[in-house]
Each structure stands twice: as C-alpha cells, then as structure tokens.
Amino acid sequence: KNEVEQSPQNLTAQEGEFITINCSYSVGISALHWLQQHPGGGIVSLFMLSSGKKKHGRLIATINIQEKHSSLHITASHPRDSAVYICAVRSGVGGGSNYKLTFGKGTLLTVNP
Amino acid sequence: DADVTQTPRNRITKTGKRIMLECSQTKGHDRMYWYRQDPGLGLRLIYYSFDVKDINKGEISDGYSVSRQAQAKFSLSLESAIPNQTALYFCATSEIPVAGGHTGELFFGEGSRLTVL
C-alpha cells in the first residue's frame, strides 16, 4: 500500500464547478505539499502546510493531522486549471538520511469549457 | 531566466552510454534533489544534497551517481544507461524549513526527458 493515496485519480469537471482532490497518508508527517504539473511542463508548488488551512486565489488547501488527510479545493474552476495535482508528505526533520518526501501518484484534472 | 535550470531538456541515447543531467539554481538554496517520474508511479527520489558536503541516497539510487559541484549546481549521472532508466527527471531545490520562518517549499526545474534505446 502506497503511503500516500490520492483520490480521485482522474476528475473531469465543467468550467465553474467546485473541485475537491483528496490526499490520505499513513505516516507521521512534518509537512504536506500540494504541487501542480501541467501537461509537458514542469512542476509548481502550490502549498506547503503542516496544520489548518491556506488560501491562494481560487485554491484552498486544508489538512487534518489527526485524520491524516488533506484536501485541495478549487473554486470556480477554469480550463486553465487542467493539470495533474500531486500531494507529497514530508517526514523526518532536520538533515541527512532522516529526510523523506513521499509523493502520491497524482490526480489528473480536466476542466471543460 | 528560470530559478532552477535543467540541461538537457531532452536526450535520446543508447544502452551503455554515460549520461549527465545538469541542474543549476539561482535561489540560493542549500538543499537540492533529483527525482524521476514514471507514468503511474509518481515522483521518486534518486539523490538529495543538503549542502555541498552532504549527499544522500534516495529510494532509487542504484545505477545513478551525483555530484554537488557548488551550492548552485547538482549533477546526476547515469554511468551506463539502460532502457528502464527512460523517464522524466526533475531537479528541485528548497530552503531548510524553520519553524516560523522558511517553509521548505520546493522549486522544480522544467524536467529532462531521457530516452534510452
């Protein structure tokens, strides 16, 4: 079982819809990242959070440490939001071999006009 | 110019050839990473370096080596490339996360697509 599970794997929405992508993890973490990858493109960091909620424009990320769960929400979705969204959890603190960042397999979001 | 630059962006090579992927950054970050991405598997860590003198193996380091030539440069080498090393490779950097300070946010390069025939 992968330590980081994302759902759904694929999501198709109509422009304007509210989108939720979920991430569950099975290990203790020090932080969780949400990343965005456009087709053929690089990877951009959207959020890094260790508790509570963060908002940036139409994107909202929440995390529940007790339930080992995070969600990424997109309000008023737009075709330019079409991308793969990746959840990654960081465990271990400090430096050296204690560091570990584990990635989910990603959620492919397609927003149709 | 991009904060994290990878070269080459695309490379096709043959089995047994030596390949080097280079990464340079202008972020001033101490931490640098090499990942590979395969369809259906997500990103996996090959090597990481927390400063010029600190290099650590990731989960899939076999068949790879790295060199941290300077704070800004981190190279990945495939000494003898094989077809199952065909993948998209990403370099990334981050600050050291500090409570109440730096977040440890990751900054990725655009990726290097390697095909080994």
CB A62 within 8 A of CB A53: yes
Q: Give A76 to chain B, closest Cα distance, Å.
A: 26
Q: For residue B61, give Cα distances in angstroms to A78, A104, B35, B36, B64.
A: 39, 19, 10, 10, 5
The pairing of beta strand A10-14 with beta strand B4-7: unpaired
Residues A106 and A21: their CA atoms lie apart, in Å, by 10
Is the CB of residue A96 less than 8 Å away from at least one CB of chain B? yes
Predicted pLDDT of residue A92: 64
Residues 68-87 of A with CB under 8 A from B: 86
Strand boundaries in chain B, DSSP class E: 4-7, 10-13, 19-25, 31-38, 42-51, 54-57, 65-70, 73-78, 87-94, 106-108, 112-116
- Amino acid (one-letter) located at B36: R
The answer, yes or no, to whether residue A9 has pLDDT greater than 90, is yes
Please answer yes or no on whether A104 and B42 come within 8 Å at the CB atom.
yes
Predicted pLDDT of residue B102: 56
First-residue to last-residue Cα distance in chain B: 32
Predicted pLDDT of residue A98: 54
Please answer yes or no on whether A86 and B97 come within 8 Å at the CB atom.
no
Lowest mean pLDDT among A76-85, A93-102, B60-69: A93-102
The residue in chain B having the minimum alpha-carbon distance to the alpha carbon of residue A101 is B45
The answer, yes or no, to whether residue A52 has pLDDT greater than 60, is yes
Predicted pLDDT of residue A46: 94
Taking 70 as the pLDDT cut, the residues of chain B under it are: 1, 97-103
Predicted pLDDT of residue A94: 53
Residues A84 and B47: their CA atoms lie apart, in Å, by 24
Predicted pLDDT of residue B71: 94
Convert the pLDDT of each residue in A23-51 to its tens digit. Answer: 999 988 888 999 999 887 789 999 998 88
The answer, yes or no, to whether residue A11 has pLDDT greater than 60, is yes
Chain B residues inside the 8 Å CB shell of A99: 48, 50, 56
The answer, yes or no, to whether residue A81 has pLDDT greater than 90, is yes
Q: What ranges in chain B are assigned the alpha helix state H?
A: none
The residue ranking higher by pLDDT, A56 or A93, is A56
- Among B4, B3, B6, CA closest to B76: B6
Lowest mean pLDDT among A57-61, A100-104, A109-113, B89-93: A100-104
Predicted pLDDT of residue B114: 97
Q: Which of A63-77, A86-100, B103-117 has the highest mean pLDDT?
A: A63-77
| Mean pLDDT taken over chain A | 90
Predicted pLDDT of residue B7: 97
Spatial CB neighbours of B39, under 8 Å, sequence gap ≥ 6: none
* CB hemisphere CA count around A107 (13 angstroms): 25
Q: Give B79 to chain A, closest Cα distance, Å.
A: 24
CB neighbours of residue A112 within 10 Å? 11
Our CA angle for A40, A18, A72, nearest 5°, is: 60
Please answer yes or no on whether B111 and A42 come within 8 Å at the CB atom.
yes
Residues B20 and A96: their CA atoms lie apart, in Å, by 24
Residues 24-53 of B with CB under 8 A from A: 33, 40-45, 48, 50
The residue in chain A having the minimum alpha-carbon distance to the alpha carbon of residue B40 is A105
The answer, yes or no, to whether residue A96 has pLDDT greater than 60, is no
Our CA angle for A91, A49, A40, nearest 5°, is: 85
- Please identify which residue in the block is written with the tokens 């994290």: B4
